[in-house]
Structure 1
């Protein structure tokens, strides 16, 4: 058939056109969390052939009984049609009753390493079984995929890497929050693997505080951090931002002298990219997924060495030429992490699972 003939063909009847793929999602992840940001990035980029429906799930978003609650919601509202996708890490309970296949995004395995013995046991004896029954698992880095495969025993062809992107607002923004002092920024929570005690010790040893630089920590004042910084002799140079809305974060990054993100473990490390997109140098760790994300565009240090962190902080605080070089590298690096490309890959995978007839169980 040539083009002229094709133009005169009768269009397919709407009734014969393929229906949108229904994707059932747990959308209760709290605003401001990393999982919420990932979820919003994907949902806002869903193609027209995908219809996202929020599951009415009871209970907490990541409690021990959440997998059961997800399965109950799927049985009640979508016994067979579509696909279940969780942007977080919680899979549904395997069931003897066939229902829609599951795709779950696994960001890391921190619960096995840095939480309680109960968390580790739950992962090893419950989640591992549930993951194996998913049609596909998405990991956010090659590091996470390798660790997940070694732990879970899932077939490698069902575990995929789709990297996170960075919100374009960080690159577009040119405003700051106008703090009246230069500051090093730590953007993140206070969990043990974030390595804040060593970061504070290194900041104190770097001499930056004596030069009028502050260490800015996101979130509310934490007395244990204040006490530790007092022991290090730098309590007057530690500043807490308080809880900031999402729209303030690009301004917070843009005003930083550099970002210090020296975790002991990350499945990805989104603050690395947010800093680079903001035109800010990055100091990060040489462990887990952080070198993979940072590439050659950040300063990598041993996060267990206070001296190594302090030396890098001092040089970053004093060497403008080096900062400018890292900023230029960072702008190039973030081009490798695009939400549009990642969303296209995710929704193509979800559609493939939905149309191939694959089932979780």
Structure 2
């Protein structure tokens, strides 16, 4: 079988879709059944050694435009609200890659779009839909992004012969919202990188020292600071814990600054001044792995997830997890996490208090989490995805 990918998601800085694409390519490039593997960015085509070099980041790609503060950020935010922005970008990319796609279609390649909206393609098409949060919670997204997906996603779902969903929850959403036949949608769970694992205390000391926290002495949450992640309720729940517990287990919020978070920052401020909440922003990956493995508790009461990979990464790191009882998260944790109602500050607070006050329970959840995470591997994701390609190649 011969496979084609849109590689725009590999542009830095990588998003979750970019890492998904990378892990698929890493597995497929080793598969003997794959007779051809290629992709495009703009008018550039990547095959063979050039594709390997791109995956290993030996070939530079132009960064996606991203600013977090200052005048540039304000200009970018204004531009994102301009009517036609997403559509215009899609049209430009489609024109640039039209001849490349036509050539691969003639050569019998299966096109797998890993990032929601597929380009037009005359050959077999597979698309991965990671979630439908733009339909369930449009308030979490820029209006132009919602309008773009509402317009383009139905076309993609008609074009694709097979639709891959990250979870049964997302599959059910696709069937319910868009009326796609259930037989056309395949659930394939994501995997956890082997780098997420328990680490010995001595190997974590340097990373913990840079942040100023102790091993087993903090609550960790990792995500972009945005409304969907429910951080304001998490912080408000943390503020309801006894003062000595907050002092013993400060809350560490790791992630890039997002949007619609001015109220969150207001709630954080007094706790940060008291040394009970830390917001270090971006943390190098090497440090992040050690922080995962050193937390007393990983708290992720997100309001909506198509999969919720941070929960799986935390479980693989050997840490107890508190998460939501909604959307895909119970499917991912599979009974190995403490589940709470993410809309109830009291329930989140009660869960944290129970877990932080009961080391034996945390140890029990950590063991269960390691077993569950061992079932979620990228090798399994690639193997199940290859079965989809095989079906289309038959």
Q: TM class by shorter-chain length?
A: 0.7 to 0.9
Q: Return the match for 2:250 from 210, 214, 239.
A: 214
**1:85 and 1:203, CA in 2 relative to 1: closer, same or farther beyond 3 A?**
same
2: distance between equivalents of 1:21 and 1:180?
49
1:186 is the counterpart of 2:224: no
Counterparts in 2 of 1:132 and 1:66: CA distance versus 1, 3 Å: farther
Shift of 1:243: 1.3
Identify the residue that residue 88 of structure 1 maps to in structure 2: 115
> Contact 2:197–2:293 (CA<8 Å) still a contact in 1?
no
Does residue 306 in structure 1 map to residue 345 in structure 2? yes
TM-superposed CA distance for 1:100, in Å, is 2.4
What's the offset of the Cα at 1:209? 5.2
Partner of 2:82: none
Distance in 2, matches of 1:83 and 1:148, equals: 22
Structure-to-structure mapping, 1:207-286, within 5 angstroms: 207=242, 210-219=246-255, 224=262, 225-230=264-269, 236-286=275-325
Contact 2:315 2:373 in 1 (8 A): yes
- Aligned pair 1:45/2:27, yes or no? yes
- 2:333 is aligned, of 272, 294, 306, to 294
Structure 1 residue 69: deviation in Å?
Answer: 4.6
TM-score of the aligned structures, taking structure 2 as reference length? 0.77
Q: Note the C-alpha offset of 1:233.
A: 8.4
Which of 185, 188, 204 is the matching residue for 1:159? Answer: 185
- Deviation string, structure 1 residues 113-165 (Cα, Å, up to 9, x no partner): 22244433333333212222112111000000000111122222221100001
State whether structure 2 residue 2 is matched by structure 1 residue 21.
yes
Question: C-alpha separation between the residues in 1 aligned to 2:377 and 2:272?
Answer: 42
1:310-330 CA-to-partner distances (Å, cap 9, x unmatched) read 111111112101001101111
Distance 1:244 1:32, change over 3 A: farther
Once the two structures are TM-superposed, the CA of residue 52 in structure 1 deviates from its matched residue by: 2.5
Give TM-score, length-normalised by structure 1: 0.84
3-state SS, counterpart of residue 64 of structure 1 = helix
Whether contact under 8 Å (1:55, 1:73) holds in the other structure is no
Q: Which range is displaced more, 23-32 or 338-347?
A: 23-32
The answer to whether the aligner puts 1:34 opposite 2:16 as a matched pair is yes
Secondary structure of 1:227's counterpart equals helix
Q: Distance in 2 between matches of 1:184 and 1:251?
A: 14
* Paired residues of 1:286 and 1:300 also in contact (CA < 8 A): yes
Gaps of 5+ in 2: 44-61, 66-84
Higher helix proportion:
2
1:202 aligned residue (222, 228, 237) = 237
Kept in 2: contact 1:261–1:284 (CA 8 A) = yes
Match of 2:39 in 1: 54
- Paired position in structure 2 for 1:144: 170
Match of 1:123 in 2: 149
Larger CA Rg, structure 1 vs 2: 1
Greater RCO, 1 or 2 (C-alpha within 8 Å, sep 6+) = 1
Rate the CA distance shift 1:110–1:307 in 2: closer, same or farther, 3 A.
same
* Equivalence for 2:358: 319
Could you say what secondary structure the match of 1:40 adopts? helix
CA contact (8 A) 1:78 1:100 kept: no
Match of 1:104 in 2: 127
Question: What SS does structure 2 have at the residue aligned with 1:44?
Answer: helix
The alignment covers a number of residue pairs equal to 332
Distance 1:155 1:263 in 2: 29
Quick check: 1:32–1:246 contact (8 Å CA) kept in 2? no
Cα distance, 1:32 vs structure 2: 4.3
Displacement, 1:25? 2.9
